[in-house]
């Protein structure tokens, strides 16, 4: 029983990490293509949705908050990406609890 629970938790964590990585790459691609990050948006995935909201750039840093809602119902994960406005790439990542 405990092995099954641990396997489920591991699968959920890996799913969250994959959705965060995919979303960061999509935002980074939009930033490089258009030169700006849209103020907010949503990415839909098979097992959840990722909302993002970009803050006003400060100096050479633009913060983007990501909120993942898995379709299982009670699972929500929050992360924050810091993008360098000169290179248009992610420079720092923090997962919030």
User: Each residue of 45-72: pLDDT tens digit?
Assistant: 999 999 999 999 999 999 999 999 998 8
pLDDT of residue 74: 75
Dihedral angle computed from the Cα positions of residues 4, 78, 53 and 72, in that order, rounded to the nearest 10 degrees: 30
Residues 6+ apart with CB under 8 A from 64: 27, 37, 52, 53, 54, 55, 80, 81, 82, 83
- Tally of domains in the chain: 1
Single pTM value for the model: 0.90
- Domain ranges, residue 14: 2-96
- pLDDT above 90 covers a percentage of the chain that reads 80
């Amino acid at each position: 029983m405990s092995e099954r629970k641990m396997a489920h938790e591991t699968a959920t964590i890996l799913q969250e990490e994959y959705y965060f990585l995919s979303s960061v790459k999509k935002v980074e691609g939009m930033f490089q293509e258009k030169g700006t990050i849209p103020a907010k948006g949503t990415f839909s995935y098979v097992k959840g949705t990722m909302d993002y909201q970009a803050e006003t750039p400060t100096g050479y840093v633009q913060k983007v908050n990501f909120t993942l809602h898995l379709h299982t119902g009670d699972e929500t994960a929050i992360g924050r990406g810091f993008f360098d406005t000169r290179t248009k790439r992610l420079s720092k990542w923090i997962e919030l609890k």
